Structure 1
């Protein structure tokens, strides 16, 4: 073990080296024994270390924030891409549906034209009522063609998010067009109520659903209540109230038609029972009564059409502009599918 003398004499030993390292704080300087200096050095080193740690922490925090931002941007880009794909697929689906509906409507119109020609080609001498019935059939075909054009225009406006003013203009045009068909029906009914009530101007499947020469208003309101969304509670309550009141009027009109039919049947039956004994004057009276019963059907038909028009007008008042537009599309699509299905049934392959 080295002694202090050896260290003084300059002999380098391991212990001397260790002690030298302990004594000299830095090469070429005297060992500092001043506590203030040591304290300053220590504070400097600690401050430098703290600053370094804080800098590292800030960099890591910035790095984390940057990563979150990048992830969020990436998620937004992916969501936007998926949204564009969904929109593209939706637009394509709408276009395909529009083309199919147009094709089916064209087939329907051809079938209607053929039906009119077949039903009128056997007799070249038509009565006045028959001529007016034929004229009404042709007017209805033209009305339906114009209606389809308006519906296609409305459908495009809805899917392209047109403004409320533009939508309202188209909706008003379609409503005025509906009023026109009711006016034409009223004129045709004055000439031949039975022709309008029988619905021969419609497709066979539509005739299966006829009520007094047209659709049931309560069924139309039910369709809107079930299919048109979203509706507020107040709107839904209004529609349900209109539906109930329409059902009551429908029941009254149906009872009226049933009463007329019963009276007509009784009148005809009474003529049969008195065929051998009744005078010609009594027979003429019974015939006049029977014809009067048939004429009374015109009044019921007019009331039914008034109820149908009122239902459409109430629907427009209850709904917003965009809801009214969608409601008209729903109603049109419903009847278009009925006509198309009827056309397909007529054209089906025979066994």
Structure 2
């Protein structure tokens, strides 16, 4: 059997198999014609039949192997094309996707995996929002709207879970929010939206509200703002502590480079202090999630649906503004 390389047309081997079979059939016919009734010729004919059957089976297995190999190559090609499309889509959205030569020490595989996971999350989120918008425009029942809004809220929980895992792997990647567009990053607070500001943006989209709803939203906004200030103060204190640690201690002696190796003790303390940054990021995301959940409890089902649409539309406009900013004409 001839070996088929990835670039070999399998039709060549199929023609060879057919030719071999035709030759053996010709030999069998000549044996049968020349020695009818001869037992030795009958034995030869039986051997030829067996050999022909074996060749057919070997050819069939070979074709199956080649077919499986070609299908495997095609599946790999499709997966590679899909990955390239996701990378291009992420870059168009302003998400930083590093190449192998870009800052190898500052970008981990976990950070890249999160960026790709967030891009997929965003695609699924868009589908859910489109479904919710269609349901609202079609005046769907409260039960249908509740099903969709609950699904979106569960999807938000998944985003915060992904961020929590990414923060433990690389807190600064989450803090800088490099998976967001430049304009989005300008409005972020600790790697995400500021809950109190979000409630202000939603006020005009939720009317009419009852007095009780207005009071509840006002209280939620005040409590969110206080929690934000506490977290911001904590991060500020952490920054001051790290700066003080790095600035403390004697100056490096003459002839030294002043690198981390020359002040390893200070660096160890600073790294320990920076480890608490993960806690601040987790608390910020917990505050965001709790604000969304409290908002859903305060509002009616239809109001909650309009609120989720407003949040999505606001984020989409920020991304669109970022694209326009990047493509703006320059002198």
- The TM-score, its normalising length taken from structure 1, stands at 0.65
Is 1:252 equivalent to 2:253 in the alignment? no
Quickly say closer, same or farther: Cα 1:169–1:109, change in 2 above 3 A: same
Q: Please state if 1:283 is matched with 2:259.
A: no
Is the 8 Å Cα contact of residues 132 and 191 (structure 1) preserved in structure 2? yes
| 1:177-326 map, 5 Å | 177-270=155-248, 273-276=250-253, 283-326=263-306
Residue 293 (structure 1) shift: 2.0
Shift of 1:222: 1.3
Q: Is the 8 A contact 1:225 1:236 kept in 2?
A: no
Selected match of 1:149 from 116, 119, 127: 127
Alignment length (residue pairs): 242
Provide the C-alpha distance between the structure 2 equivalents of 1:152 and 1:201, rounded to a whole number of angstroms: 22
Give, in whole Å, the separation in 1 of the partners of 2:178 and 2:261: 35
Contact 2:93/2:319 (8 A) holds in 1: no
Distance 2:202 2:94 in 1: 33
Larger Rg: 1
2:165 & 2:131 partners in 1: Cα distance?
Answer: 29
Is residue 149–residue 305 contact of structure 2 (8 Å, CA) maintained in 1? yes
d(CA) in 2 for partners of 1:245, 1:120: 43
Higher helix share: 1
Q: Distance in 1 between matches of 2:263 and 2:279?
A: 25
Distance 1:128 1:348, change over 3 A: closer
Q: Give the one of 111, 117, 122 matched to 2:101.
A: 122
TM-superposed deviation, 1:275:
2.2
List gaps (5 residues or longer) in structure 2. 1-85
Equivalent residue for 2:146?
Answer: 168
- Secondary structure at the aligned position of 2:120 is classed as helix
**Could you say if the C-alpha distance between residues 281 and 126 of structure 1 is closer, same or farther in structure 2, counting changes exceeding 3 Å?**
closer
Which residue number in structure 2 is paired with residue 41 of structure 1? Answer: none
Secondary structure at the aligned position of 1:349 is classed as coil
Aligned partner of 1:22 in structure 2 is none
Which consecutive unaligned segments of at least 5 residues does structure 1 have?
1-105
SS of the residue 1:120 aligns to? coil
How far residue 178 of structure 1 moved from its aligned partner, in angstroms, is: 0.3
Does structure 1 retain, via aligned residues, the 8 Å contact 2:181–2:319?
yes
What TM-score does the superposition give when structure 2 sets the normalisation length? 0.68
User: Residues 238 and 318 of structure 1 are in contact (CA less than 8 Å); yes or no, is this contact kept in structure 2?
Assistant: yes
Alignment-derived partner of residue 75 in structure 2: none
Counterpart secondary structure, 2:111: helix
Call closer, same or farther: CA 1:246–1:115 in 2, change over 3 Å: closer
* Aligned 8 A contact 2:195 2:224 in 1: yes
Distance 1:247 1:110 in 2: 32
